[in-house]
């Protein structure tokens, strides 16, 4: 199966919420794999080596994910309740600032992992009654 056909199959068989959960799980797992080594890094060279070893790519992917979410949350078509949208937008802006601090060696990745873990838990909670039966949820998921 070609990559395009595989991606199309995923889009057709998974809900947006499931896709988001899968992406959050993958990125958070990647961040977790670097957690101990990043915490133990004592020098700028050690941190740079970790960034080159995949942490930099993972941080960039996480930031891109949150940027996409931010843009969706800010769109007029987003159907989430306004208070939830505002809270998630605030988190997205925080992730952007914190990621820059991590990249500069001024902060740990633990807070990013914690935020993603909490969002993932919300995405993977049991869906409301009716949604599993094929009914559409009342609010767009993040």
**pLDDT tens, 65-121?**
999 999 999 999 998 999 999 999 999 999 999 999 998 888 899 999 999 999 999
User: Is the pLDDT score of 138 beyond 60?
Assistant: no
Enter the tokens of residue 44. Answer: 């700028």
The answer on pLDDT for 126 being more than 50 is: no
- Inter-CA distances, 80 with 50, 59, 84, 87, 123, Å: 37, 26, 7, 11, 13
- Both tokens assigned to 76: 């007029």
Q: Could you read off the pLDDT of 18-71 as tens digits, one per residue? A: 899 999 999 999 999 998 888 888 887 888 888 888 889 999 999 999 999 999
Q: Which residues contact 102 (CB under 8 A, 6 or more apart)?
A: 59, 108, 109, 112
State residue 129's pLDDT score: 43
Asked whether the beta carbons of 40 and 9 are under 8 A apart, the reply is no
Residue 13 has pLDDT above 80, yes or no: no
- pLDDT value at position 17? 83
Q: Report the pLDDT value the prediction gives residue 9, as an integer from 0 to 100.
A: 55
pLDDT computed for residue 62 by the predictor: 97
What pLDDT, on the 0 to 100 scale, is given for residue 48? 81
Predicted local confidence at residue 2, as pLDDT: 58
């Amino acid at each position: 199966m070609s990559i395009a056909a595989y991606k199309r199959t995923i889009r057709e068989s998974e809900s947006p919420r499931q896709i988001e959960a899968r992406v959050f799980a993958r990125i958070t797992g990647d961040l977790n794999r670097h957690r101990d080594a990043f915490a133990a890094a004592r020098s700028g060279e050690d941190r740079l080596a970790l960034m080159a070893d995949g942490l930099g790519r993972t941080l960039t992917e996480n930031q891109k994910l949150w940027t996409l979410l931010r843009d969706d949350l800010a769109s007029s078509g987003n159907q989430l309740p306004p208070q939830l949208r505002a809270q998630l937008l605030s988190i997205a802006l925080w992730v952007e600032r914190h990621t820059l601090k991590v990249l500069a060696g001024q902060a740990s990745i633990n807070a990013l992992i914690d935020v993603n873990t909490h969002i993932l838990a919300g995405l993977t909670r049991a869906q409301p009654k009716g949604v599993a039966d094929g009914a559409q949820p009342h609010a767009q998921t993040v």
